[in-house]
C-alpha cells in the first residue's frame, strides 16, 4: 500500500505543478504584464488568458494548494481523501467556469477540450484509489 500511496502522491504533486505553471502561472504572468504572447502558440490562447478573472485564478491557486496538501498527506502516511475531494471539487468548479467562456472555446480545439474529460476521469480514479488505500488501512 505504501508504494501505491507514493505513486498517487507523485501523480497529484505532478498535476499540482502542471496546474501551477500552465493554468495559474501563465495567466497570472500575462495579466500582470510579465509575459507577452509573442509566440504563435501563446497568441492562440491570448484572448483566453486575458479573459480569465482573478477569482478563477484564486480558485486555480486553491486547487494547487489542496492537491499539494493531498500529495503530502499521501507521502507522509496521513489521511488524504477529504483533502483530495476538496481539491477535486474546486478543480471541477474552476474547469466548469473557465470552459464555459467563449474565449476558452475559441482558444482550444475540440480535441484539446476533450482531453479535459480524460483528466477528470483520471482524477476520479485517483480518488477511488485513495479511498481504497485508506479503507484498507482502517
Render each residue's pLDDT in the chain as its tens digit; 138 residues.
789 999 999 999 999 999 999 888 888 988 888 887 777 777 888 888 888 899 999 999 999 999 999 999 999 999 999 999 999 999 999 999 999 989 888 888 889 889 999 999 999 999 999 999 999 765
pLDDT computed for residue 137 by the predictor = 67
Give pLDDT, residue 45. Answer: 83
Read off the C-alpha cell for 9. 502522491
What is the structure's pLDDT at 1? 79
CB-facing half-sphere around the CA of 64: CA atoms within 13 A? 16
| b/e burial code for range 43-76 (CB count within 10 A of at least 16 → b) | eebeebbebbeeebbebbbbbbebbbbbbebbbe
pLDDT of residue 65: 97
Amino acid at each position: 500500500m505504501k508504494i501505491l500511496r507514493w505513486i498517487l502522491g507523485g501523480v497529484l504533486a505532478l498535476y499540482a505543478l502542471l496546474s501551477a505553471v500552465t493554468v495559474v502561472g501563465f495567466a497570472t504572468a500575462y495579466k500582470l504584464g510579465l509575459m507577452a504572447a509573442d509566440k504563435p502558440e501563446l497568441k492562440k490562447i491570448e484572448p483566453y488568458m486575458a479573459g480569465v478573472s482573478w477569482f478563477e485564478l484564486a480558485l486555480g491557486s486553491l486547487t494547487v494548494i489542496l492537491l499539494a496538501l493531498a500529495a503530502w498527506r499521501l507521502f507522509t502516511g496521513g489521511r488524504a481523501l477529504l483533502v483530495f475531494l476538496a481539491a477535486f471539487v474546486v478543480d471541477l468548479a474552476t474547469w466548469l467556469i473557465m470552459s464555459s467562456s467563449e474565449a476558452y472555446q475559441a482558444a482550444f480545439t475540440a480535441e484539446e477540450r476533450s482531453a479535459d474529460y480524460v483528466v477528470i476521469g483520471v482524477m476520479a480514479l485517483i480518488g477511488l484509489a485513495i479511498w481504497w488505500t485508506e479503507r484498507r488501512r482502517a
